[in-house]
Every structure is written in C-alpha cells, then in structure tokens.
Structure 1
C-alpha cells in the first residue's frame, strides 16, 4: 500500500512538472510564430513605406531581394532571440534587463539584414533599413512587455480591492523608490501610496513611480488630512538620528501607523523591501546617534578565546552571548541561575551558530565551590560579569540580598578569575552607582570598588590582603591562604582541601595579572527591568500608564549599544578603569510614555490615561553618569569615556567588605547603615538633593 502511494505521488509530481513545462513551451512556440510574422512584416512595411504604401510601385528587384532573403533572416532572428533568452524569460517581471536584451538582439539582427541582403542581392533603400529596424524592435518589445502590463494591471486591481491603508512615503530617494515600486507591484501589500514627502525643494511638484511629491516635513500634517493617510512609511535609512527624531515627532502627532527602515546597510545591500520595514520604536525618538564600535578590533580580541558570561540568560547577558558567538570564540560558557533563560539562549545560539563550542551551566555566583569548579574546569580567558539583582524597589525591601548577590557574588567571581589566571574581567555596572540613593545602586558602586581593589591587588601581587567572605582565606600560612574550613564548608559546601589556595601558583601565571574593569551605562530599552515592557502591557490593557513623577528623567540606550560598549571596553582595558558611554541628553519618562502611547495609535490623556504614582523607595529624579570627583578621559571612540577612579584605601575597604559580608549572611537589620559608611557618596532615599521628598 505504501509503495503504491509513493509511486502515485511521484507520478503526480512528474505530471505536474510536465504540465508546467508544457505551458511555457507553448508560450514560447506562440512567440516564435509571432516573431516570424513580426520580423517579416517589419521589413516589408519598411519597403512599402519607401514607395508611398503602394505595392505596385515597389521595383521588382527590391521585392525579389526581400522575398529571397526572408527565410535566411527569419531563421537568424529566431536563433538570436533564443540565444538572448527571449523565449524563456518571465515576462510578467520584465524590466531594464529584458529591454537591453531585446535591443541587443535587434541590433545584431539589423546588421545581419544590412550586410546579408546587400552582399547577396544588392543595396536596398536607406529608409528600408531604418524603418524595418524600428518597427521590428517595437513589435518584438510590445508583445513581451504586454505580459508585464497585463500582470501589473491585474495586481493594481487586486490591490485597490485589498487596500486598507492610504500610505504616505517619507523620502524620495532610492529607498523610497524601492518601497513605492513594491507597494504598487506586490500582491501582499495592503497599502495604497498616495503621496511622498521630501525636504528637497527640487523634488516638490514632481512625480515618482506615479506618486506626487507634495512637499517637505512641514507639509506632513496637511497632506495626511488631504489624502486621508493612515500609514506613514519612513524610507530614509541614511537619516541622522536627530533628523529622524524630528520628522517622526511630527508624524506621531498624526496618529497614523508609523513604519521605518532599520538602517543604511539595507540600502547598500539592496535589501530594501516592505518586509524589512518595522514599526517605529520609541528608541527612534531618542535622537541620539547609535554608538559605533570597531568590530574588527573586537573580533581580533575575542577570536580564539574561552569566554565566560555570568548572568548569560538575562537581557544584557544574552545579547553579550549573541555578539560573542558571532566573533568565533574558542568556547563560550553561559553561567546563570535561572534555567529557563539559559535554555532559551542556548537553543537560539545552537540554531544560529552550528559550529559554536557552547557550554551552558546552571549555578549561582554566590556559590564559591560552583564558581571555582567552573573556572578550574574551563579556564576562561575573559569573564563578562552580568549576574546581578537590578530591580531598585525590590532591593530596597531586601537589602541583604543585594549585598549577597551583587557584591559578594562579584567578589567571589573576581577572586576565581584571579586564582585561575583570567586575562580580563569586565563588570557590568550602572549609572545608579553614581551618588546612589538606593541599595541597588550602592551595591553596584561596591562592585566597582571590588573590581578596582582586585585590579590593584593583581598588579601588586598582594593576594594576602584578600579577606575570607565565606569563601576565601583570610590568613597566610606557609605561603598559602588558609582559613576556618568548618566556616568555609558551612557557607559553601566546600571541603578543607578546596579552601587552600597557593599564592605562588597565582604569581607564577604566564599572563601579567588579571585586568579588572567596570562598564557603566544607563537604562536599557527593552530589557527585563525597562519601563518600556511595563508601558506596553499597560497600553494593551487599556491603561492607565503609570509614571512615578512628571519630572523624572533617565539616560537610555539600546541593548546592542550597551553590549557593544562592554565589548569595546574589553579591548581598551588596562585595568582599574570605569568606562562610561556618552548617552546624550536625558529623556523625561513622561515624554517617553506619551510617545509610546502615540506610537501605539492612541492619544495620551484621551484614549489612554497617565497616572503619577510618586517616586518609589530609593528612586531619584535624575541619574548621573560620573561622580563629580571622577573627572573624565577620552578614548579612541568619541562616545566612550573613562572615569578616573576615586582613590580609597584598599586594605580598609577589604576589611569593611569582610564585615559587610558577614552581616549580610546574618541578615542584619543595619546593612544599609554599614553600606553608607563604606560608600561615602551613598545617600539613602530622602537624603539626596535629586530625591523629591514631596513624592512621599
């Protein structure tokens, strides 16, 4: 039964293919018949016109020459047309390429006519050659392009029936032309192009692809009303960020659906199409040029390295893994405590990078034994430390967890990096670490101090200064770090043997010591902790959209930008730096929310209400990128700067850190006060000038 079914399927497939083949062969046969008639009629018409359309006036020698040469010329034309693929082209998609082939074939055929008939039978009248050539070209072209014309007319009728949008295209350039052409020819399009906007006055009042260019950006609103526009397509991929923001800010006032081409690279690659247009995102309205990094430099730095990403399943961590995977690492290790996120990024990378040497491990950075096992087994060359608790209000109610996970977790990971000879350790920090008013920001400042301390100790070789922290030794005995094995095992489940680390084994590494750096940036659009996903959910639910304060401002960047900064920092690092991105102007969250409502097709305070809920615990009205004392230094990338580290006593800090760790594991009620003593720039909620006390 199965064999019979398979045989039937095969026969049906063959029959279908044969029918398809027969169809275009029949079309080709009809074209050959047409061409035979057309080429002979063309040259006979040239002879007839030469003698005033009177057949009796044609001299017999001219007519005999034409009749005798006709079979040779006809056969030659069919052969040339076949060679130039004029019988097997898809004429419904005919374009300049097909027209060029018809022209070339006609020129060759005409030369054959001129030299052939003249050599064999004598010279014919000059008008015979000219008229015959022109008429032949017109007839051969007309029948073939009629397929395209009929097809386009059918598509236009279908589009007019299907069209549900009146579209305005912004940009009368190459990208705009491609979009217009697809709007008018694609059967998938549901939009009818009605007008074009372009800021070049030379194009105003002219026509492109049958659509009028009606003016510049100042004419957008009036033409939206005039043509009843409900969809705007932004087709200027090369526009600067500020220019794009200004135009889109006008467009969003129209309540039309906004779509845009992502970038210039699509125009360069010829990859401009309706399918590539995406809804305008709120980041398009930020008005800052995207950060540019030297990808070749990053490629050379990452290629052939074993790279560990802690928190690799999170928003920043997963994007780090994506970009690292594209740079040919020797091995990529993803370390995360949350298995669902780790599984998702694992499956994505396996699908996209078949040859990637990928290892996904589950564990906590708070578990010293697990961290040490990972470093001992895989010996990473570079570590990107993205694992952290980042939610400000939640950490305010669980400050000990912020210290355990962020600070102690960073310390344990950084210690293992030094112990096992990692070349470079990159900490993911935040602008909330600058003059923090919440425990999350203060914990990230402590992480930066840990990194700076580790870098100083790595360069000085003073491993003996490192405290125990429920994971490492606080005493040096016979050239080895030692501690209380029972305390150690109680905290991390490690054996006494695991708690012994040989100092000389660290000092004698081939590398010149681990380089520790921190990378500080603002809020990341689209991340798990971003306000954007929250706003979208609130809009989908019909509102209200909640904003903490009408004057609250934040710096924003996209996830790819944040990750490119982290990767670039890895190439610039000498050790001890805090890298900072110039994120441009701060953005009001209230404005961000209103823009998002408009981009969703609603009117703020009319369709979707905004509510102000007051600043949450630990929140401040504005974030700062650098502490005033830090100063700033430029790098080769004009958007990446280095903050000069604030000096502090490393030995004193490490002793304070030891006490802080002990208190956090005891879940102390005084942990915030202890952090305030260590981080002198930490002003808990209500004590900082940028914290609005009226909000409470």
Structure 2
C-alpha cells in the first residue's frame, strides 16, 4: 500500500501536488487549533465553547502566510530546512499579530490562550508532513528508476568530522549512494554514533569492509595534509576497496559539501607533499597593474602563468608563442574568463629578434616570464642543433631584448635537468641560465634577471602522467625506463606561482629552487595509477592481472635521478619554501666566445662537435655516449662560417653593438631572423 501511495504521488503534476498540499493543510490546521485548545484546558470544554469558527479563521489566515514564505513553491523531494524555518517564523509572526489585535480590541471570540500552543502544533505538523511526503516521493523515485537496494553503492566515509557529517546528510537523499558507517583513526570516536551512523577505528577496517559489503570509501577530510592523504589512500588500496575523495579545503573554498562534491582520487593527491602556498604580497608585486609578457604562452607552464597573472589584474597581458593554435586556445580562454583584461597575442619565435622586438616596442613592458623552450629530452637529444637554438638562442634573445627595452623584471623558467646534465636539453637550459646570469651582471642594466628551477610538472605536455593514462586506457603495458628512476614532482599551478613569486624576490642573477620534499619513484607512480583505475598489475606473481609494467631501458640522456642544485651553497629567501642557489657563472665576453663555438657546431650539425662545445660551456655535462667512439671532427673556424651565421655570432649577445648602430631599431642590429639560421 505504501508503494502504491508513493507511486501515486509521483505521478501527480506539480500543480496537483500543490493543490493536494493546500487541501491537506486546510484540513489539518483546524485540527491543530482544536488540539491546542484541548491541551490548554485538558478537556473538550474550550473546543465546544468556541466552536469551529476560530479554528477555520486561523487556518484560513495561515495558508496565505505559508504561501508567502515559499512553502508551496519548494519541491518536496529537495526540501530545504531554511524554508521550514522561514515558515515557522512567519507563522509565529501571524500568531503574535493575532494575539495583539485580539488583546487590543478585547475580542473574547478568539481564545488567545491557545494561540502559542497552536503555533507549536502547526509547525510540528508542517515539518513532519513534509518529511513524510519527501520520504514517500524518494521511495517512489527509486522504484521508478529501478534502483533497488542491491544496486545502491554502499559507502563508508573516512573522517568523522564536519565534512563527513555534511556528506552523510547529503547521501540520505541520494538515489546512488548509501552511507553505512564512518572510519576514523581517533580511538576516542570508536563505536560512537555520528550522524546516525556508527564510527569504527581504522584498525577494524578490513573486518568492517567485509561485514558491511562496502563498495567504496570516500575520504572526507579536506584539511588533511598531502602526506597523510597519500598514506590513507595507500592503506585503503591495500584492502582492495575503491577510493574517492572530497576536494581539498583550497578547492572547496566556501562551497557546500554535497554528493556531487565527491571526485576521483587524482595523482596530485598522492604527491606526499603539500602545495606551496603563494604569498599575496609577492604574487602581485610584478603583475598587479603591470604590463606583462609571457613567452611560450600556449604551453603547459606558459598558459598556467597567463591564468595566474590574469587573476592579479595586470594592465595588459602580452602572449607570445610560435604555435598559432596554442596561442589561439589560451587567448580565447582568457577572453572568456576575463573579458575586461587587455590581451595582445603575438605569433613568433623567441629566436627571432625582430618578432620579439615588435612585441615589446611601445608597450612599456614591466615583466617578462620566459617559458618558451623545447623540453622533451629524447626529441632534443635527436635534434641537438634545433634544441640548442631554441633554448639557448631564444633565451639570449629575450635577455637582450629585455635589457634594451628597460624591462623591470625578466624571469627564466629552468629545470632540475640543468643540474649536472646528461642530456642536451638539460645542458641547453643550463646555458640559458648562464645567459641570464651574464645579462644580470651587466653594469648598466635596468633589468632584474632571475631563474626558477623546479622538477617535473604533473600533467604537462610530455610528462609521464598523461602517457600512463593513455597506456592504461589502451590496456597496457605501461612503459618505464628503469625500476629505480625517481623524480621530483609539482603541480602546474604551483609551478606558475613559484615563477611569479621568484620574480618578485629577485635582486639580480639568482637561481631560485623549490623545497620539493621527497622524490617519487616512477614505478610506484605507475602502480598507483593502475590501482586508481580499479585495475590490478599484471606480473609474474599475478599473471591474471590487467596492466603490465614493462621496463624498456633508459633513454638517451636520461638519468636515474635529478638534482636541484649544482653546488651546495644555498640561502633562504623571503618565502619559507623557496631557496636561493648561488651558482657559478661566466663573464659575458667569455660566454660570447664559447657561444660562438657552440653555434658553429650547430651550423655544422655535427653531434660530436655540439657535445664538445656544450661541455665547454657546462663542464659538468656528461653525455650518455662515449666521446671516443665517433671520429672527432675539427672545430669549424668562425671566419669560415656562412655570412648569415657570422652575422649571428657578431651580434648574438652584444648589447653595445645592438644599440650603437646610429639609433637603429634593435631588431636590425641583434640576432638574425629565425629563418636565416637552420
């Protein structure tokens, strides 16, 4: 009978449901008033004395009050307690007003003594009737959708706190989840009742998971540190249960916790290191109401830099990238999210001084973030001349242009692979650092140059996480280069914030590095991602598993581990989690001479000569291949190079030469256009 009643209620139209609620209230409210009089006298004397008229009058006045308070406009299945409180307060105002008027006119036809009791009984009726109706409608909705008890996901909530309480309450009206218990590592809460659910200590985790047939555990502690979060997720995974989580406190901001707040566990949750919080004073120093330029604006780091800068209300944001599509994508995103932001997109290569100069001229640029680079180690290793040209020549161009146009701050995005590099990509980034160090040491420069060095960025193009996701979706195998490879990891927004803050702290020539905590073993990351996908690793011990992890050997130039410092000399900075490293540098004249040799080697495209020239600039560079096996060719004479390359060497870093040509534009007296050197 209950099922028939609930299904009948669900089939009614919205108008019919409202009419039914009003009709029920018209019948029930007079009875509520009669009950109030009965409770007042303890017998039926007052009820018979006053008759039905007062009860009908007060009920007729109550219906409009409920209507004005929104009681009949609210969908019963999604009833909000706020509406009940407003209805109760409105009814209290009606009772108070009626009592006052009756007292002032001394009207004895209305029993004033029962009005307060009527308010209590009528409000109780409204609450219970709406909750009963909601339960019936919810039951019928489940039946109609075929969601039987066995199809509802039985969920345990990890964390008996405020967030867990809100989630448990939200699940009561969910047709998909049913909370059955809490887990918490606080022994004082063991076997207590919280939000009408039992709380179990984590030591009974395995036992309770089996007894209660729990399908999923939701981690509901937004304030949890990253290390503790990773420990708990690993613990739950070892018990073979699916794990999801609520957003962190930073992600939640002020949003209310609902069932929709539950999300899958992301790799970011497993870093084991808390994100470095930005300092507001540093974050806005070089961006607030400044003209800012980002090179490589369409890349992973560059685009996130643009997003972070846009939140600081810059005067203008100049986007510079050689990829038309990447530039278009970030421009459209920023225009949609920040319609009042002035954006100036420029297509061009950072190796092309003419294009860089055109983007800077007349703009009054205050800050440049140089994120444009080739960063994929094997690709740069197989295309040494182009990798060096883009990473070194591009950085040298940006440094010279920033100096010439009087840019206040210029920040280079570097990498931990620049420390004792075994590959050309890392070595090229170290040479780029040397170029910025040399520019910072110029006696008359008005630009503050600095460098920011960090590890791998999760989710960036070319990183392992997107690759592993793709391999898992394809059914495997996941390929790793060596079981002992370890890497430092950080989040893309965190990396962008570090870059912005470093520029604000710079005095000139510093290399900033982040305290990145403990490194992560790549094989452990792969196994975690397999578990997060609900799959099992396929191995010799478990040949029936889903995804195999296959070791393919180290790639050319790849190291087992990365470092962040060349020397041991580091000092604290203004930011608690950012260090300042004092690295060796080259005098600009010496740097110029060695760059000449490097670019002659790149012009010849002789990989051995390129490696020799790189080692001349970066003594700690130790290439993966033997320097003795190939036949060494003599280093080309700069005087015998092509006229175009000679022009490049003559003008590659000399600010004095660039400015001295009779007041000519800088682009006509600096480095050649990108299509002149191949």
TM-score by length of 2: 0.82
**Deviating more after overlay: 392-401 vs 403-412:** 392-401
Equivalence for 1:147? 133
For 2:172, which of 167, 170, 184 is the aligned residue? 184
Q: Pick closer, same or farther for the CA change 1:20–1:420 going to 2, 3 Å.
A: farther
Query: For the residues of structure 1 that align with 2:357 and 2:99, how far apart are their CA atoms?
Result: 88
Local SS of the residue matching 2:559:
coil
Q: Unpaired runs of 5+ in structure 2?
A: 1-11, 540-544, 628-678
Return the alpha-carbon distance in structure 2 between the equivalents of residues 589 and 316 of structure 1: 22
> Where in structure 2 are the equivalents of 1:606-617 lying within 5 Å?
606-617=545-556
3-state SS of the aligned residue for 1:383?
A: strand
State which of 168, 181, 184 in structure 2 corresponds to 1:198. Answer: 184
Q: For the residues of structure 1 that align with 2:485 and 2:47, how far apart are their CA atoms?
A: 92
**1:62–1:124 contact (8 Å) kept in structure 2:** no
Do 1:35 and 1:140's aligned partners in 2 also have CA atoms closer than 8 Å? no
> What displacement does 1:635 show?
1.5
Q: Quick one: distance in 1 between partners of 2:464 and 2:83?
A: 53
Q: Is the 8 A contact 1:35 1:78 kept in 2?
A: no
| Residue 283 to residue 112, structure 1, CA distance change in 2 (3 Å) | closer
2:296–2:322 CA contact under 8 A, matched in 1: yes
Aligned positions of 1:169-318 closer than 5 A? 169-187=157-175, 190-216=176-202, 218-265=203-250, 267=252, 269-318=254-303
C-alpha contact 1:204 1:215 (8 A) present in aligned 2? yes
Separation of aligned partners in 2, 1:352 and 1:587: 35
Partner SS for 1:333: strand
1:365–1:410: 8 Å Cα contact kept in structure 2?
A: yes
**How far apart are the structure 2 equivalents of 1:378 and 1:72?**
76
Change (3 A) 1:408 1:595: same
**Alignment match, 1:658:** 596
Deviation for aligned residue 1:427: 0.4
Change (3 A) 1:182 1:163: farther
Alpha-carbon distance in 2 for matches of 1:25, 1:154: 18
Is 1:42 the counterpart of 2:35 in the alignment? yes
The farther-off stretch of 375-384 and 513-522 is: 375-384
> Partner of 1:416 in structure 2?
401
Q: 1:495 maps to which residue?
A: none
Check whether the contact 1:38–1:140 (CA below 8 A) recurs between aligned residues.
Answer: no
- The 1:410/1:162 distance shift into structure 2, 3 A limit, reads farther
Measure how far apart 1:298 and its partner are: 1.9
How many Å separate the matches in 1 of 2:199 and 2:393?
Answer: 62
Instruction: Go from structure 1 to structure 2 and tell me whether the alpha carbon gap of 1:513 and 1:136 turns closer, same or farther (over 3 Å shift).
Output: closer
1:238 Cα deviation from its structure 2 partner? 0.8
Worse overlay, 190-199 or 574-583: 190-199
Q: 1:151 to 1:423 in 2, by over 3 A?
A: same
Within 2, Cα distance between the matches of 1:106 and 1:232? 43
CA distance in 2, matches of 1:351, 1:652: 48
Give the C-alpha shift of residue 378 in structure 1.
Answer: 3.5
Please tell me whether residue 628 in structure 1 is matched to residue 567 in structure 2: yes
Counterparts of 1:49-198 in structure 2, within 5 Å, are: 50-51=42-43, 58=45, 63-65=48-50, 70=55, 73-74=58-59, 77-78=62-63, 80-81=65-66, 84-104=69-89, 107=92, 116=102, 119-121=106-108, 135-155=121-141, 157=143, 159-160=147-148, 163=151, 165-187=153-175, 190-198=176-184
Contact 1:179 1:274 in 2 (8 A): yes
1:541 corresponding residue in structure 2: 474
Whether the aligned pair in 1 keeps the contact of 2:286 and 2:500 (CA below 8 Å) is no
CA distance in 1, matches of 2:187, 2:47: 58
Contact 1:547 1:590 survives alignment (8 Å): yes
| 40 and 223 in structure 1: CA distance in 2 versus 1, 3 angstrom threshold | closer
Question: Cα gap change, 1:452/1:438 in structure 2, threshold over 3 Å: closer, same or farther?
Answer: same
Does the 8 A contact of 1:220 with 1:250 survive in 2? no
Contact 1:389–1:405, Cα closer than 8 Å, also in 2:
yes
Q: 277-286 or 85-94: which moved more?
A: 85-94
Determine if the alignment matches structure 1 residue 684 to structure 2 residue 623: yes
**Cα distance 1:424–1:62, how it changes in 2: closer, same or farther (>3 A)?**
closer
Unpaired runs of 5+ in structure 1? 1-18, 462-511, 689-696
Structure 1 position 338 matched with structure 2 position 323: yes
558-567 or 612-621, larger mean C-alpha shift? 612-621
Map 1:487-566 → 2, pairs under 5 A: 513-566=446-499
Note if contact 1:156-1:184 (Cα within 8 Å) is conserved in structure 2: no
- Cα distance in 2 for residues equivalent to 1:392 and 1:591: 22
Is 1:368 the counterpart of 2:353 in the alignment?
yes
Say whether residues 1:589 and 2:574 are aligned partners. Answer: no
1:380 paired residue number? 365
1:479 — aligned with what?
Answer: none
CA change 1:363–1:111 in 2 (3 A) is: closer
1:221 deviates by 3.2
For 2:624, what is the secondary structure of its paired residue? Answer: coil
1:674 aligns with 2:662: no
Measured after TM superposition, the shift of residue 628 of structure 1 is 2.3
Q: Alpha carbons of 1:319 and 1:131: their partners in 2 closer, same or farther (altered >3 Å)?
A: closer
User: Could you tell me how far apart the structure 1 residues matched to 2:318 and 2:67 are?
Assistant: 59
1:430–1:520 Cα contact (<8 Å) kept: yes
Change (3 A) 1:513 1:267: closer
Moved more, 291-300 or 520-529: 291-300
Answer yes or no: is the 8 Å Cα contact 1:163–1:192 preserved in 2.
no
Give the drift of 1:686: 6.3
In 2 relative to 1, CA 434–114 (structure 1 residues): closer, same or farther, beyond 3 Å? same
Change over 3 Å in CA distance of 1:98–1:344 after alignment to 2: closer
Q: Residue deviations 1:80-114, cap 9 Å, x none?
A: 54555555444443344344345445655666787
Paired with 1:680 and 1:424, the residues of 2 have a C-alpha distance of 29
Which residue of the partner structure matches residue 571 of structure 1?
Answer: 504
Instruction: Indicate the SS of the match to 2:410.
Output: strand
> Does the aligned pair in 2 maintain the 1:175–1:236 contact within 8 Å?
yes
Taking structure 1 as the reference length, the TM-score comes to: 0.80
Greater displacement, 443-452 / 95-104 = 95-104
1:72/1:440 CA distance change after superposition, 3 Å = closer
Change in 2 beyond 3 A, CA 1:515/1:41: same
Alpha-carbon distance change, 38 to 319 in structure 1, aligned in 2, over 3 angstroms: same
Secondary structure class of the residue paired with 1:185: coil
User: Mean alpha-carbon deviation: is it higher for 604-613 or for 518-527?
Assistant: 604-613
Report the more deviating stretch, 571-580 or 533-542: 533-542
